[in-house]
C-alpha cells in the first residue's frame, strides 16, 4: 500500500497551480508585448503618413503653379504693342490670377502631437526615427516659409503699381503691369519656383523613405494608409537631391505649344480684338 498519498496529490496540485500561474502571466506578457508593437507600428505609420500627405500637398501646389506658368509664358510673349491695343478687361483677370499668393500649408495635427508628447516617443522606442522625423517636420516648415517669401514677390511688385498707377507709363493697367521690368522678372521666375518645388518634393520623399527603413514599414504600406486616410496626411537622400538640383535636373523645360492649347479660348479672344 502506497504511503502518504496526500503528498502526491499536494505535489500534483502545486505543479498544476504553478503551471497555471506561469501560463496566465506568460500569456498576458506576450499579449502586452504584441499590443505594444501594434501601438508602436500604428504611431509610426501615422507620422509617416502625415509626411507623405504633406509631400502630396506640395505636388498639388505644382499643378496650380503650372497654370500660372502657362499664363505668364503667354503674356510675356505677347508684344507690348498688342497689349496696348487691348481693353483692360481682357488680360487683367489673368494678371490678377498671377498676383494671388498661393501658400503651401499642410496639416500640423500629427506633427504637434508627435513634437509635444514624450509618451509617444517612448512608445516608438527608436531615437534615430524620432530625430529624423523631427528634421523632416523642421524641413517642411522651412519649405513653407521659403515658398511664402517666393510667392510674395509678384504680389509686391504688382501692388507697387496698383497703389500709384499714374506714376507708370501705359494706357491700361494691364499695359502698365506688363511693361514693368520687375513684374516681368517675377513672371519669368515661375519656372524656377516650380523647379524648387519639385526639389522639395524629392528631398522630403527621400527623408521619409529613410524613416520607413528605420521603423520597418514599407513605402507601399504608407501610401495605402495615406490613401485610406484621405478617403475618411538615413537623410542621405538630401545630398542626392541637392546635387540633382544643382545639375538642373528639376528645371522646367520651355513650354510647348501643347500647353498653350489650354488657353485657346483666351488667345482666340485676344486675336479677334486685335484684328478689329
- What are the extents of the domains in the chain? 5-274
How high does pLDDT run on average in the chain?
Answer: 77
Residue with cell string 546635387? 243
Q: Which of 81-95, 189-203, 204-218, 238-252 has the lowest mean pLDDT?
A: 238-252
**Best-predicted range by mean pLDDT (84-98, 138-152, 259-273):** 84-98
Percent of the chain at pLDDT > 70 equals 67
Mean pLDDT of 152-166: 88
Q: What is the pLDDT of residue 30?
A: 36
Q: Which of 18-27, 63-72, 177-186 has the lowest mean pLDDT?
A: 18-27
Give yes or no for residue 3 having a pLDDT over 60: no
Q: Which three cell numbers stand for residue 125?
A: 522606442
- Region of 86 (left: φ > 0; alpha: ψ -120 to 50; beta: rest) is beta
CA distances from 255 to 17, 74, 98, 216, 263 (A): 80, 10, 17, 42, 13
Mean pLDDT of 145-158: 83
Q: What is the pLDDT of residue 25?
A: 46
Give yes or no for residue 115 having a pLDDT over 50: yes
Give yes or no for residue 35 having a pLDDT over 50: no
Q: What is the pLDDT of residue 243?
A: 60
Q: What is the pTM for the complete model shown?
A: 0.66
Q: What is the pLDDT of residue 261?
A: 73
Give yes or no for residue 205 having a pLDDT over 70: yes
Give yes or no for residue 169 having a pLDDT over 80: yes
Amino acid at each position: 500500500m502506497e504511503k502518504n498519498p496526500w503528498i502526491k496529490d499536494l505535489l500534483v496540485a502545486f505543479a498544476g497551480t504553478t503551471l497555471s500561474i506561469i501560463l496566465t502571466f506568460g500569456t498576458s506578457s506576450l499579449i502586452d508585448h504584441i499590443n505594444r508593437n501594434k501601438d508602436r507600428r500604428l504611431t509610426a505609420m501615422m507620422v509617416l503618413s502625415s509626411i507623405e500627405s504633406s509631400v502630396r500637398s506640395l505636388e498639388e501646389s505644382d499643378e496650380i503653379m503650372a497654370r500660372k506658368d502657362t499664363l505668364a509664358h503667354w503674356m510675356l510673349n505677347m508684344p507690348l504693342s498688342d497689349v496696348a491695343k487691348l481693353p483692360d478687361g481682357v488680360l487683367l483677370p489673368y494678371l490678377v490670377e498671377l498676383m494671388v499668393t498661393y501658400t503651401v500649408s499642410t496639416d500640423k495635427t500629427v506633427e504637434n502631437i508627435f513634437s509635444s508628447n514624450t509618451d509617444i516617443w517612448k512608445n516608438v522606442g527608436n531615437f534615430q526615427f524620432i530625430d529624423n522625423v523631427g528634421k523632416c517636420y523642421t524641413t517642411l516648415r522651412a519649405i513653407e516659409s521659403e515658398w511664402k517669401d517666393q510667392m510674395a514677390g509678384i504680389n509686391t511688385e504688382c501692388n507697387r503699381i496698383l497703389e500709384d498707377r499714374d506714376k507708370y507709363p501705359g494706357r491700361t493697367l494691364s499695359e502698365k503691369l506688363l511693361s514693368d521690368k520687375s513684374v516681368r522678372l517675377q513672371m519669368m521666375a515661375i519656372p524656377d519656383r516650380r523647379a524648387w518645388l519639385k526639389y522639395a518634393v524629392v528631398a522630403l520623399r527621400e527623408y521619409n523613405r529613410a524613416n520607413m527603413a528605420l521603423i520597418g514599414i514599407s513605402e507601399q504600406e504608407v501610401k495605402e494608409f495615406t490613401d485610406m486616410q484621405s478617403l475618411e496626411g538615413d537623410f542621405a537622400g538630401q545630398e542626392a537631391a541637392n546635387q540633382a538640383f544643382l545639375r538642373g535636373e528639376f528645371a522646367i523645360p520651355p513650354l510647348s505649344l501643347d500647353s498653350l492649347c489650354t488657353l485657346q479660348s483666351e488667345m482666340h479672344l485676344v486675336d479677334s480684338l486685335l484684328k478689329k
